[in-house]
Structure 1
């Protein structure tokens, strides 16, 4: 038992250190691309999530290292009746049960804080996409409701509340926090259902986008990380229900592991840009240098040029996704939008009826008119207008072409 406890203690702090590294990379990526003013609510939520994750790991450590994995379960009625309230085992079981109660509340709070991070991120990622704001609003309602429901189960599954660390007589399964079937199954169901809903927000947008398949697959895999979280949640539930009465520390084991996976996956969209250049380099050896530079900032979903079109040409928005957002992390979305808006105040506006226009941007330059026709010069703006004016004397047509 001592060897297993020592191995788990090493695992806890190893996972903790790795999670800290991933979160630090997240903030480094955010600061590098956006600066302090570019931080968003999900960055603040992640900070509190890290604090909760640290506290949860401490609780798991106490359960194993200090309370010897004991709680108010795995005892016969005869053992409960003969156990001396002044004994060391009594103290270990009572404190172990109390620690389990706190640890489960922290575990639930952490998972739902991470869900809130995803919602804030998806709200930015899908900004402007038709009807996606409704999905986000419903997501807020669902996440808040399921979290409150989990808390209500945690507090009211055992009444009075202090029976959750009662030794004699047996308080019943609902009052044994290490193996409570009601709380374990309920939290697993709520966690799985909300993860399914959260994955349903970005995946259809990415699937319908005009991104190259290579980038599309990367995003689909990244946003499908909730499936891995579900697997760990189900493993946690099964382990507690099957082995919990023999080893109450199972709750701490799998809670820490699932929390670690959730923290890492939630930060992946922010950390990915740091490694994207290295990841893409292997699959883009045939890409020209100019194309690579143009791709480094990412495309808006639905606005990726086709094979036969110049890389610098701006396409009309997709019919299915009118105001598509950028692929990859929000750092690139914001950088692209800021650069586009800095280049043209009308870059994101549609032309009015009876007026059409095509604007081509030279990479890294502010749009301006050029009349030079030299061999090394580049045409910065191409404009073609057709204006129909209604007048009492009749309609007047004006056409203008500029190259």
Structure 2
């Protein structure tokens, strides 16, 4: 299905508006709950800037047209100023970089989220580090591919002679799509131990499997986007429209768990049902409560320790054993630790 620039712009506006609303909601809830401005707060602010910047750039290159459109319709340039086509083609490169920045910032937010709820599980920590390294390396590779797929770079905005198929940026698209899917799978593997940690209530199971469903949905959207762009010979309007959809889905998947978890904890505090004294505003939060502050999934610290070291068992002896001294006094002997 071929989309026109008007449809691509309208979908872009709607998806960008929804994405920004989600991100701003997260910031407002964070400030309302007086949470510290940590790394996730920085990523959220950068995401808002990237989304706004991309939608502005999208407006201009969809209005000006691009060299890619000339490949689809040789008469396209007859109705557009050549200099505007060149400007639009340059802006496309900037938009692709901003899209990659936005998507990878959502990946970083998810990595921070999973790092909190799986902290203390050795192999999950290793997978998390692997995902961080993969995210950094793939981001660099995609940005380089964005500018270097056409060499020299002037081919991106060259109209005559025909610059060839490199302006369709299939390599950049495939690298971005495959890398996104691989990292999403890593994130699902990181969260998998949560299923096996302990018995859960029905609501906890629903929340947990919703998290997996969101991650799977994000992968499906990435695949649909890549397939449709190939079917439309990399039409720029198709690329723009589905990039906007993917940006919104990624933004929702990355921020919905944290927003929901924060609202749930705030609702519990308002209702007065505090299970532990750690919820008091003037007392420090314990580790499980810090986890609940950031997510909708709870994990017991003891279970995390067992998962980390399956061969280590708790010492069943009491805190002190007794020993007889030389003068027949009964002395407490220090407990041996596992």
Relative to the length of structure 2, the TM-score reads 0.77
Question: What does 1:233-312 align with in structure 2 at a 5 Å threshold?
Answer: 233-244=222-233, 247-273=235-261, 276=264, 293-294=274-275
- Using the TM superposition, give the Cα deviation of residue 184 of structure 1 relative to its aligned residue in structure 2, in angstroms: 1.3
Residue of 139, 146, 150 corresponding to 2:131: 139
Structure having the higher helix fraction is 2
Evaluate the alpha carbon distance shift between residue 21 and residue 139 of structure 1 in structure 2; reply closer, same or farther with a 3 A threshold: same
Evaluate the alpha carbon distance shift between residue 135 and residue 324 of structure 1 in structure 2; reply closer, same or farther with a 3 A threshold: farther
Q: Determine if the alignment matches structure 1 residue 32 to structure 2 residue 14.
A: no
Which position in structure 2 is the counterpart of 1:380? none
Q: Determine if the alignment matches structure 1 residue 330 to structure 2 residue 322.
A: no
The higher-RCO structure (CA 8 Å, 6+ apart) is 2
SS state at 2:40 partner: helix
Q: Determine if the alignment matches structure 1 residue 152 to structure 2 residue 144.
A: yes
Evaluate the alpha carbon distance shift between residue 260 and residue 333 of structure 1 in structure 2; reply closer, same or farther with a 3 A threshold: closer
- Using the TM superposition, give the Cα deviation of residue 194 of structure 1 relative to its aligned residue in structure 2, in angstroms: 0.9
| Distance of 1:235 and 1:103 partners within structure 2 | 20
> What RMSD in Å do the two structures reach over aligned CA positions?
3.8
| Distance of 1:50 and 1:75 partners within structure 2 | 33
Evaluate the alpha carbon distance shift between residue 396 and residue 202 of structure 1 in structure 2; reply closer, same or farther with a 3 A threshold: farther
Residue of 178, 181, 187 corresponding to 1:198: 187
Which position in structure 2 is the counterpart of 1:168? 160
Which digits, 9 at most, give the CA deviation of each residue in 1:281-320, with x for residues without a partner?
xxxxxxxx99x6539x99xxxxxxxxxxxxxxxxxxxxxx
- Using the TM superposition, give the Cα deviation of residue 167 of structure 1 relative to its aligned residue in structure 2, in angstroms: 0.8
List runs of 5+ in structure 1 lacking aligned partners.
281-288, 299-322, 338-351, 357-385, 399-403
Which digits, 9 at most, give the CA deviation of each residue in 1:57-109, with x for residues without a partner?
22222232x22x443344389869xx68xx83423432222121111111111
SS state at 2:94 partner: helix
- Using the TM superposition, give the Cα deviation of residue 45 of structure 1 relative to its aligned residue in structure 2, in angstroms: 0.9
Question: What does 1:2-151 align with in structure 2 at a 5 Å threshold?
Answer: 4-33=4-33, 35-36=34-35, 38-64=36-62, 66-67=63-64, 69-75=65-71, 88-151=80-143
Residues 126 and 202, structure 1, Cα contact 8 Å, conserved in 2: yes
Residues 126 and 324, structure 1, Cα contact 8 Å, conserved in 2: no
| Distance of 2:215 and 2:155 partners within structure 1 | 35
Which digits, 9 at most, give the CA deviation of each residue in 1:189-241, with x for residues without a partner?
11111111112112322442343232132123124422222222122212221
Residues 139 and 198, structure 1, Cα contact 8 Å, conserved in 2: yes
SS state at 2:192 partner: helix
Larger radius of gyration: 1
List runs of 5+ in structure 2 lacking aligned partners.
280-286, 302-313, 333-338
Evaluate the alpha carbon distance shift between residue 135 and residue 75 of structure 1 in structure 2; reply closer, same or farther with a 3 A threshold: closer
SS state at 1:195 partner: helix
Evaluate the alpha carbon distance shift between residue 241 and residue 354 of structure 1 in structure 2; reply closer, same or farther with a 3 A threshold: closer
- Using the TM superposition, give the Cα deviation of residue 116 of structure 1 relative to its aligned residue in structure 2, in angstroms: 1.2
SS state at 1:158 partner: coil
| Distance of 1:259 and 1:224 partners within structure 2 | 17
- Using the TM superposition, give the Cα deviation of residue 275 of structure 1 relative to its aligned residue in structure 2, in angstroms: 5.2
